[in-house]
Structure 1
Amino acid sequence: MTDGTGGACGSPGSGEPEVSDSLKTFGEVLKAFRKRAGLTQEQFAERVGYSLQTVAKIEQGRRFPQVDFVERAEEILDAFGTLRGAARHLSRQPGLASWFRQWARLEAEAVSLYTYECRVVPGLLQTEAYARAVSFSVPPLPDEQELNERIAARIARQELLATCRKPPTAFSFIVEQAVLERHTGGEDVTRELFDHLVEVVERHWNVEFQLMPLRQSVHAGLDGPLRLAETADNHWYGYSEGQENGRLITDPKEISRLHQRCAKMRSQALTPEDSLGLLKRMRGAL
């Protein structure tokens, strides 16, 4: 199921992962290696290139450590692979494809999230019925438990849209008009999806939604879907996904190229205002 899994405001800690035994264990191990190296949290934060607040939350088990954080900590603390090994056990989440889990962790902490999709409506914007229809479209068909886990994980991710998060994430979505013209799941599912998209765009000031028109003679997204995420520490990551796989992108040169493509597509797609107008007209035609 594409998008790896296929908002209302929560508790004061919404936007951060629920504290789990594996997160707390990783935090304790990190703290032990930091103290072994004779570093205060402030000194370690400066060396690893992350804020003191982020380091504190990771040690408390309240934040997932990012990929480059783990790699830098390994080198700085001379942890002989212990931190890297422990981090591999932090991303087990039912309903998320194994290749998507690292990105889901970054997505949960992002302050900016850019998405271009040419296959399906992005998971953060899907309805339950649409997610179900997508899942049943791609063989092999899931059993009931697997399907329910996929949908639950996808709907749970949509809490990220909430403007009550501190700071709220800034979203930019570019979706091919052809994706909506496909009417995945039939007319009833499509009507509900269009109504949901209009509501999300009109209600969430932090969501920018653009449609790429059917006819576009010059298109910067011909290499396929892409995502970019900026964390609270102003680190950028990219992600690309294909058949049965996904790739986390950390190389600055690759991320620069993705930024260039994304910026070009934002100028090529319809404006947010025109996109909303087209979306409403498409809904009215059903």
Structure 2
Amino acid sequence: MTNSTANEPEPSDSLKTFGLVHKAFRKRAGLTQEEFAPLVRYQPGTVASIEQGRRLPPRVYVERAEEVSDAFGVLRAAAKYATRQPGLASWFRRWADLEEQAISLYTFENRLVPGLLQTVAYARTLFNARVPVLTDAQIEAQLTARAERQRLLTERPNTGYNFIIDEQVIKRGTGGREVTLELVSHLLAVSELRNVELQLLPVTCSVHAGLDGPIRLSETPENEWFGYCEGQRTGQFIADPESISVLHMRYAKLRSQALTPDDSRSLLQRTLGAL
């Protein structure tokens, strides 16, 4: 059985709603939490946390609960809207939930290092520079949420990650020399993971397929693709097949225009030596 109730977030409205729906179907099935837990192969404490809205239900849990409760697909549908990260912008949470399920994740960035690859010092520099100014509590919430997302790189080794980062993002030196040293070292370490490909788009590539801005693409276990594009204070979730096709074409072109993973590592090592 699985049990993980440590470091649980404060309840969100969507999690509390899922918990209430879950509880209603469990009771309809005539089961106590103690009786329900072994049927879904989780601990009673986990069941309680989910019903209290204090834990995001894992995908496998939802599927088992759906079957045990004979919930007519309601639990599966409700789980799609359950989000937990209080440190994430509301318009980003749906994408963050997809990240947790993705079997393939593609990210192109020409503004900053993607959140999944940031060090704490680099992220803190970004949050400290945010306008309007964030409070210390807000910054810590943002850092906690970012760390929660970053665990995916190691906890989902079967997910394939490809990152394309504009070299200028590294050359900018955000946070100063020490922060950049740590960041480049971290990028080199992450690039050694078997499920991670890291490519740099060199500054010598004056025209490329990503001039319209960042691109994010995610493939679900059901082999559905979704996209996400982010602006100043908004994010656009993309499900339209035609738009997804365009993003795929642009991303494929970017992969051919960027340095290979090996050449990208060499460039990072030279950058590290020059700092």
Q: Same fold (TM over 0.5)?
A: yes
Query: How many angstroms apart in 2 are the aligned matches of 1:108 and 1:232?
Result: 11
Q: Cα 1:273–1:95, aligned 2, differ >3 Å: closer, same or farther?
A: same
Query: How many angstroms apart in 2 are the aligned matches of 1:171 and 1:244?
Result: 26
- The correspondence of residues 66-145 of structure 1 with structure 2, limited to 5 A, is 90-145=82-137
Query: How many angstroms apart in 1 are the aligned matches of 2:76 and 2:129?
Result: 39
Query: How many angstroms apart in 2 are the aligned matches of 1:229 and 1:27?
Result: 28
If asked which structure has higher relative contact order (CA below 8 Å, sep 6+), I would say 1
| Equivalent pair of 2:160/2:196 in contact (CA under 8 Å) | yes
Query: How many angstroms apart in 2 are the aligned matches of 1:12 and 1:272?
Result: 38
Amino acid in the other structure paired with 1:199: A
2:62 counterpart residue number: 57
Query: How many angstroms apart in 1 are the aligned matches of 2:274 and 2:219?
Result: 38
SS at match of 2:199: strand
Say which of 247, 258, 265 aligns to 1:269. Answer: 258
Greater CA deviation, 234-243 or 89-98? 89-98
Per-residue deviation, 1:12: 8.5
Per-residue deviation, 1:244: 0.4
Per-residue deviation, 1:92: 4.3
Say which of 143, 163, 176 aligns to 2:166. Answer: 176
Query: How many angstroms apart in 1 are the aligned matches of 2:178 and 2:85?
Result: 31
SS at match of 1:146: helix
Q: Note the alpha carbon deviations across 1:232-255, whole angstroms, 9 max, x for none.
A: 111110000010000110001100
Amino acid in the other structure paired with 1:115: T
- The correspondence of residues 191-202 of structure 1 with structure 2, limited to 5 A, is 191-202=181-192
Say which of 1, 20, 41 aligns to 1:25. Answer: 20
Query: How many angstroms apart in 2 are the aligned matches of 1:56 and 1:138?
Result: 37
Say which of 274, 277, 282 aligns to 2:271. Answer: 282
- The correspondence of residues 149-228 of structure 1 with structure 2, limited to 5 A, is 149-162=141-154, 164-165=155-156, 168-202=158-192, 204-228=193-217
Per-residue deviation, 1:57: 2.2
Per-residue deviation, 1:218: 3.2
Structure 2 length-normalised TM: 0.76
Amino acid in the other structure paired with 2:170: L
Per-residue deviation, 1:25: 3.5
SS at match of 2:191: helix
Query: How many angstroms apart in 2 are the aligned matches of 1:12 and 1:261?
Result: 42
Q: Cα 1:222–1:274, aligned 2, differ >3 Å: closer, same or farther?
A: same
Per-residue deviation, 1:140: 1.2
Q: Cα 1:54–1:160, aligned 2, differ >3 Å: closer, same or farther?
A: closer
SS at match of 1:205: coil
SS at match of 1:60: helix
Per-residue deviation, 1:23: 3.5
Amino acid in the other structure paired with 1:172: N
| Equivalent pair of 1:112/1:170 in contact (CA under 8 Å) | yes
Structure 1 length-normalised TM: 0.73
Amino acid in the other structure paired with 2:183: L
Q: What is the root-mean-square deviation in Å for CA atoms of aligned residues?
A: 3.2
Query: How many angstroms apart in 2 are the aligned matches of 1:220 and 1:105?
Result: 27
Q: Cα 1:250–1:60, aligned 2, differ >3 Å: closer, same or farther?
A: same
Per-residue deviation, 1:21: 4.8
**Length, aligned pairs only:** 234
Amino acid in the other structure paired with 1:97: A
